[in-house]
Amino acid sequence: MHGVKAILFDTFGTVVDWRASLIDALTGFGAARGIAADWTGLVDAWRGAYVPSMDRVRRGELPWTILDDLHRASLERLVAEFGIAGLSAADLDHLTLGWHRLRPWPDSVPGLTRLKARYVIAPLSNGNVALLVNLAKQASLPWDMVCGADLFRHYKPDPETYLCAARLLGLAPGEVTMAAAHNGDLQAARTCGLQVAFFPRPTEYGPHQARDVAADSDWTVVAADIEDLATRMGA
Amino acid sequence: MHGVKAILFDTFGTVVDWRASLIDALTGFGAARGIAADWTGLVDAWRGAYVPSMDRVRRGELPWTILDDLHRASLERLVAEFGIAGLSAADLDHLTLGWHRLRPWPDSVPGLTRLKARYVIAPLSNGNVALLVNLAKQASLPWDMVCGADLFRHYKPDPETYLCAARLLGLAPGEVTMAAAHNGDLQAARTCGLQVAFFPRPTEYGPHQARDVAADSDWTVVAADIEDLATRMGA
C-alpha cells in the first residue's frame, strides 16, 4: 500500500448491514400498523431492483436520478406487487428513508476511527450525499468527506466515479485505495488505477449468500473486516 | 431558526485565521531559508489577489480553476513583485499548501462540536475539496460533509453555490443557515432563501481591520463567535 493517502469505502453491505436493518425497519412498521406481509421478501426485492434502476439511468432511459428517488419508485411498484395496500405517500417516504438509518457492522466504526487517524477516509457510494450524510450521522461514521453519486452524476462502476473522487481529493488514482466487500467494484476501481482492498461480508445478502464470499482476484489487500484492514494498513 | 437542519460555514476568516497562520508559515520559511522579505506584506497581497483571481474565472477569462491553482499562480507573481528570489517550484508548492494548514479560531472546534450534535454542519467555501479536507483533518474540524467550490464549479457569491449545497443535503434553502463573518456572503445567501448567521472576526485582516467588524443587516442570528452561535441555536 505504498503511497496511499486516502481510502474510499463502498457503503451498502461494506460498511452498513442494509438487509437486517431494513428487515427490522419494515417488519416493525408492519407490526405497528397491523399490516401482515412478506417484509423480508420485499427487502430482498427492493435490493434486487437497485442495479436495474441504476442501469436505466446509465443507459439514458432516465435522466440523472438520485438513489433516494430510485428507491422510492421501486418501493411504490413493489408494495403493489407484494399486495400491500393502504400505504400513503408519507408512508412510502418514511420507509424509503430507512436507507438513511442503516446500522453499521460491529467493526465499522472502530476500524474507520483507526484508519481516519492515518488516512483520509470517505464513502464512495451509489447513495446520494444526503443519504450518506444522514447515515453517517446516525451511525457515527467518522468520514472526512462524503462522495455520493450525485457529485459525479454517474453510478459505480462507471469510471467517472473513481477518477473524479480521487481528483476531488487532490490525489492520483494510485494514491487512493477502494475498499469494498464486492469484487466487481474492486475490478472497476483497479481498471482506473486505484489500489484495492477486499473484506467479505458473508451475510450481507442473508444466510444463503453465494456471491462475494471471498476475494476472487489478487487484490492489493485482503482482510477479514475493517478492523483487520486497519491493522494491515498500519493504522 | 425554525426548521433549520444544516449549517454551512464560510471557512477562511470565519472558521480559521488565515492571516496569522500564513504570516507564521511564511516568516518561518524565510527564517529557515535565510530569506529576508516583507512576508506580512506578501500574505496581505496574496489575500488581496484572491477575489480578483476568482473574478477572472467568473467572467470566463480563465476556465474553471480550483483555488489551490489560483493561489499558486498569484504567489508566483507576487514573490517576483516582492523581490524574493531563489524559490523553486517545490518551494512555491509548499508555501501554497500553507492554505491547507491554517489554524482554527479558539472557539471554532468547541462550537462546531456542539452544533454537530444537533445539525448537519459543513463548510461552504471557495476552497477546493482537497484543501478543505486537509484543513479539517489537521485542525480537527468535525464536518459532516465538505462543500468545496469544485463541487459546483462556481465561486461564492454565485447563487449556484448556496442552492446546490442545499440540494446536495436534500434540504430546501430555508432549512439551511449560512454562517459567516462576512456580510456580503450572507447577503448573497439570503437572496437564495437561506437563513443567515453572522459573527465578527475583527482581527481577520489584522489590527487595522475596517470591514465586517459588525453585522450590517438584520441577519437571522447575530452571535459573538461559534460557541455563542451554538448557544443561540440551542446546541
Whether residues B119 and B223 share a domain: the answer is yes
Residue A31: is it exposed, middle or buried by C-beta count within 10 angstroms (0-12/13-18/19+)? exposed
Q: What is the pLDDT of residue A136?
A: 98
Band the pLDDT of A2: cuts 50, 70, 90: confident
Whether residues A64 and A120 share a domain: the answer is no
Please give the full DSSP string across B180-208, using - where no structure is assigned.
Answer: ES-HHHHHHHHHTT-EEEE---TTTT-TT
Band the pLDDT of B2: cuts 50, 70, 90: confident
Residue of B96, B97, B135, B144 for testing the chain A interface, max A β-carbons within 10 Å: B144
Of B38, B66, B100, which residue sits at a domain end? B100
Has this prediction a pTM greater than 0.95? Answer: yes
Is pLDDT at B99 greater than 90 in this prediction? Answer: yes
- For residue B167, the enclosing domain spans 6-17+105-232
Number of separate domains in chain A? 2
Asked if B136 and A151 come within 8 Å (Cβ–Cβ), the reply is no
Chain B contacts to A (CB-CB under 8 A):
68, 120, 128-131, 133-134, 136-137, 144-146, 148, 150-151, 168-171
* Segment B210-224 mean pLDDT: 96
Q: What is the pLDDT of residue B1?
A: 66
| Residue in chain A lying closest to B141 (CA) | A144
Taking only the tens place, the pLDDT of each residue in A112-152 is 999 999 999 999 999 999 999 999 999 999 999 999 999 99
Asked if A171 and B120 come within 8 Å (Cβ–Cβ), the reply is no
**Residue A190, all three cell numbers:** 483497479
Band the pLDDT of A29: cuts 50, 70, 90: very high
CB B100 within 8 A of CB B131: yes
Whether residues A122 and A219 share a domain: the answer is yes
Size of interface A-B (CB pairs under 8 A): 55
Could you tell me which residues come within 8 angstroms of residue B188 by beta carbon, excluding any fewer than 6 positions away? B156, B157, B159, B162
* Segment A94-114 mean pLDDT: 98
Taking only the tens place, the pLDDT of each residue in A170-183 is 999 999 999 999 99
Cβ atoms within 10 Å, residue A165: 27
| Residue in chain A lying closest to B169 (CA) | A130
Helix (H) or strand (E) run with residue A45 in it:
helix A39-48
DSSP state of A47: H
Is pLDDT at A1 greater than 70 in this prediction? Answer: no
Taking only the tens place, the pLDDT of each residue in B119-174 is 999 999 999 999 999 999 999 999 999 999 999 999 999 999 999 999 999 999 99
Of A100, A125, A151, which residue sits at a domain end? A100
Side-chain half-sphere exposure of A229, counting CA atoms within 13 A: 34
- The interface pTM score, or ipTM, of the predicted complex is 0.96
Report yes or no on B199 lying in a domain. Answer: yes
* Segment B44-59 mean pLDDT: 96
| Residue corresponding to grid cell 484543513 | B135
- Compute chain A's Rg from CA coordinates: 18
Residue B58 is part of a domain; what is its CATH number?
Answer: 1.10.150.240
